[in-house]
Amino acid sequence: MELYFLGTGAGMPSKERNVTAVALTLYDERGTMWLFDCGEGTQHQILRSPLKASRLEFIFITHLHGDHVYGLPGLLTSRSNQGGTTPLTLFGPPGLEAMLEPVLRYSQAHLSYELLYREVGEGVVFQDDRFEIQCSKLDHRIDSYGYRIVEKDKPGKLDAAKLHTQGIPPGPLFGKIKRGETVALPDGTVIDGKSFIGPPVPGKKIVILGDTRKCEAAVSLSSDADVLVHEATFDSSLDELAQMYYHSTAKDAAQTAKRAGAKSLILTHISSRYQEDEAARLLSEAQQLFPATWIAKDHWSFSIS
């Protein structure tokens, strides 16, 4: 499981940063990837990355500002040309389908796959046997959401050493024991398979927020997250500007991560005023409050081990 940052800029592209898009690769877990936001030029960024648009399963849109959605028409049509045939689901705020469908219709876009829309609101927006995705509304000029991806706990590992001490050799019985079944051994001894399985392995929790001012909803959604991806459009000297435009400073992001008990924080959505080494100010500001902070740049990845 890995986060791959395709665009890390705010508002408009710059020479160093394209606008917002981040992929969560789930190749080992389900052979797919999920995309969070799709700013203009995202399909170009994918071409310059190891990612494949044909692997896309879900796209989650945080809000409908252009720097988060203008890349959708191009990416959706390119996915057809690149061999994408499996269904693709778009999750997003009310208005996403109404905004996108006329563009696809009037441009006579041909999609070789089924495109599905799922309108999000507060609460659980997706769940299967491996993942649950929760959604909360944040504090922005328009409806903006954050997504919490929760990997469900995995079964504990089979304690082969304990089986060996009981004189149980490797073989077909191991499979039944690993499933926690009650098993009768050749000598007539009956054992409970559950007693040979370790504790469940906790699943990962990843939180990706849309644009927002500092707010309680962000803290609650990010509770105990393994990774929190948070916008940091400005440094704290521009706090009034951040408040005016409903954005966060790097200090705001660090305070949210600290209050939420997150394990790591990644800053993104960086204003174009922070060119070259200027972005280091944002990182330093956040690390003073929350040391386990990184600042994303385009084509940078973060492994969630």
User: How confident is the model at residue 159, as a pLDDT?
Assistant: 75
* One domain, residues 217 and 73: yes
User: Are residues 262 and 178 part of one domain?
Assistant: no
140: annotated binding-site residue?
A: yes
Catalytic annotation, pick one of 37, 67, 226, 252: 67
239 tagged catalytic: no
Domain co-membership, 241 together with 192 = no
pTM: 0.89
Query: Do the annotations mark residue 65 as ligand-binding?
Result: yes
- Does 269 belong to an annotated binding site? yes
Residue 158 pLDDT grade (very low, low, confident, very high; cuts 50, 70, 90): confident
Residue 169, pLDDT score: 67
Own/partner pairs for 273-281, CB < 8 Å, 24+ apart?
Answer: 274/235, 275/14, 275/15, 275/16, 276/16, 281/235, 281/250
Average pLDDT on 117-125 reads 96
Share of the chain above pLDDT 70, in %: 98
When the pLDDT of each residue in the chain is averaged and rounded to a whole number, the result is: 92
Reported as a single tens digit per residue, the pLDDT across 179-236 is 777 877 777 777 777 777 778 788 999 999 999 999 999 999 999 999 999 999 999 9
Total domain count, the chain = 2
Q: What is the mean pLDDT of residues 283-301?
A: 97
* Among candidate residues 219, 231, 218, 247, the one with its CA nearest the CA of residue 296: 231
Task: Indicate whether 231 and 257 sit together in one domain.
Answer: yes
Do residues 142 and 220 share a domain?
yes
**Do the annotations mark residue 153 as ligand-binding?**
no
Q: Is 247 annotated as a binding residue?
A: no
Query: If residue 58 lies in a helix (H) or strand (E), which one and from where to where?
Result: strand 56-60
Question: Which of 196, 212, 247 delimits the end of a domain?
Answer: 196
- The verdict on 9 and 143 lying in the same domain is yes
- Tell whether 31 and 127 lie within a shared domain: yes
